[in-house]
Chain A
């Protein structure tokens, strides 16, 4: 790696420095837009006691689910964790901690974290168990709770295409939490389907500017579908 060239060629390089007890922010919504190769590498490294910030926690045997299987996750910060039996067992046995966070609040916590904003007020969760113990302020006659932002030691992100400067674009709804995660890691690693020549990405349409990105690796993706729903072919 030299200068502004962010491309690495091995997963060892991509996640060098990841250590026990760290916080990882992971992009993805369900199994859509997840950095499959980076997750596999974390499993291979066997790093433990991780706090993982991700909207969901994969499914049994795929996505972040494989890190649960390997008992590498200490705590999940997520909005919905319903697709995973192992998750349920580890939660009930007390092996795993979970901090359920409303989806929009989670997105904003990561966005704010990456943007240098330590906390923000939101109406989401006021008057519910999520608001308990949090500072309440009234603005214009409405109640809001104070939510603290999130940053990670690492952010693991799945992009569609990147150039070696680390400029990234995402494809369709595989974007989701990825651009937010990309801004909020001390070290941000982006796994993409294709690395393109500088200038190939339209500068007016970069989703994640390279300044946020430390490492780019080209991966191959299974892209497993969680709920395949189809309509009949029109005749």
Chain B
């Protein structure tokens, strides 16, 4: 089973030199720590920063410099700052090369539910709906099943959607899965996790090729 860090490491392999990347809150944020050496990547923060750097040192802290998670951050050399409409023009206009975000559920049609559990307080979708609607290349990070063993890779999302038909890649703690033709396709498995285990915890239809390579770290 992959740790949070290993999920982030696996997602980082989807990066390419010169990519503009938006990372969501939680595990996606960790992806920034595993950008392959020698690769130039610019991180977009949807509150209006392209070229997000590491957290500041105590002396560098500036209340006017935060990321979309409202954490204090720095800007790298070559960064730019803009307003929220410009920021979402980048996102909606398909200019961001890779978007990584978490989810509660995904399904075989590429639907994603990530913002609302009925009966619980709804805090809002923030930028997630714009991100999934605008990006061509989205990676979802999530645990494969709930703590009680219920699959989160479903024939059809039960929770209200964040976006319809937009997800093609999912990295879970058990596997790397692609979504196409109304099916999940098992591409890679986590070290020490069997194909059977993954299939058992995948509620939606899953195509299993003859060889499913094990991820290496």
Q: Point out the residues of chain B lying under 8 angstroms from A2, CB to CB.
A: none
Question: Which residues 84-114 of B sit at the A interface, judged by CB distance below 8 A?
Answer: 84-85, 87-88, 91-92, 111
Question: How many Å from the CB of A35 to the closest CB on chain B?
Answer: 14
How far, in angstroms, from A169 to B98 measured CA to CA in the complex?
31
Beyond known contacts A103-B88, A175-B81, A229-B71: 12 more, CB 8 A cutoff: A29-B47, A31-B70, A32-B47, A78-B124, A82-B124, A104-B91, A126-B164, A129-B116, A130-B129, A176-B48, A180-B85, A230-B61
**Chain B 119-143 against A: per-residue CB contact (8 Å), 1 yes, 0 no?**
0011111111110011000000000
A229-B72 CB under 8 A given contacts A126-B133, A224-B63: yes
- Does B210 interact with chain A (Cβ within 8 Å)? no
Q: Point out the residues of chain B lying under 8 angstroms from A106, CB to CB.
A: 84
Size category, B interface: 35 or more
Q: Which residue of A lies closest to B45 (CB)?
A: A173
- Does A194 interact with chain B (Cβ within 8 Å)? no
Question: How many Å from the CB of A233 to the closest CB on chain B?
Answer: 5
- 16 residue pairs from A and B, CB less than 8 Å apart: A32-B64, A78-B124, A81-B123, A100-B125, A104-B84, A104-B134, A105-B129, A123-B92, A124-B133, A129-B161, A174-B63, A177-B84, A223-B63, A229-B73, A230-B61, A233-B57
- Does A127 interact with chain B (Cβ within 8 Å)? yes
How far, in angstroms, from A223 to B66 measured CA to CA in the complex?
12
Question: Which residues 136-193 of B sit at the A interface, judged by CB distance below 8 A?
Answer: 160-165
Q: Secondary structure at chain B's binding surface: helix, strand, loop or mixed? A: loop
Q: Which residue of B lies closest to A207 (CB)?
A: B83
Q: Point out the residues of chain A lying under 8 angstroms from B88, CB to CB.
A: 103-105, 107-108
- Does A228 interact with chain B (Cβ within 8 Å)? yes
Whether the Cβ atoms of B133 and A223 lie closer than 8 Å is: no
A174-B122 CB under 8 A given contacts A179-B83, A230-B55: no
- Does A93 interact with chain B (Cβ within 8 Å)? no
How far, in angstroms, from A110 to B88 measured CA to CA in the complex?
13
Question: Which residues 176-235 of A sit at the B interface, judged by CB distance below 8 A?
Answer: 176-180, 207, 223-234
Partner of B163, one of A78, A128, A174: A128
- Does A137 interact with chain B (Cβ within 8 Å)? no
Partner of B72, one of A107, A127, A227, A232: A227
Q: Which residue of A lies closest to B160 (CB)?
A: A129
Q: Secondary structure at chain A's binding surface: helix, strand, loop or mixed? A: loop
Question: How many Å from the CB of A113 to the closest CB on chain B?
Answer: 11
Q: Which residues in A have some Cβ–Cβ distance to B below 8 Å? A: 29-33, 55, 78-83, 88, 91-92, 100, 102-108, 110-111, 122-130, 171-180, 207, 223-234
Partner of A226, one of B58, B66, B163: B66
Whether the Cβ atoms of A122 and B133 lie closer than 8 Å is: yes
Q: Which residue of B lies closest to A174 (CB)?
A: B64
- Does B62 interact with chain A (Cβ within 8 Å)? yes
5 closest A-B pairs by beta carbon, nearest first, are A127-B164, A104-B88, A104-B130, A82-B123, A80-B124
Q: Point out the residues of chain B lying under 8 angstroms from A126, CB to CB.
A: 133, 164
Q: Point out the residues of chain A lying under 8 angstroms from B70, CB to CB.
A: 29-32, 83, 226-227
- Does B201 interact with chain A (Cβ within 8 Å)? no
Q: Which residue of B lies closest to A228 (CB)?
A: B72
Whether the Cβ atoms of A30 and B85 lie closer than 8 Å is: no
Question: How many Å from the CB of B82 to the closest CB on chain A?
Answer: 7
**Chain B 40-55 against A: per-residue CB contact (8 Å), 1 yes, 0 no?**
0000011111000011
- Does B209 interact with chain A (Cβ within 8 Å)? no
How far, in angstroms, from A92 to B120 measured CA to CA in the complex?
11
- Does B65 interact with chain A (Cβ within 8 Å)? yes
How far, in angstroms, from A30 to B163 measured CA to CA in the complex?
24
Question: How many Å from the CB of A27 to the closest CB on chain B?
Answer: 9
Q: Point out the residues of chain A lying under 8 angstroms from B71, CB to CB.
A: 227-229
Question: How many Å from the CB of B203 to the closest CB on chain A?
Answer: 20
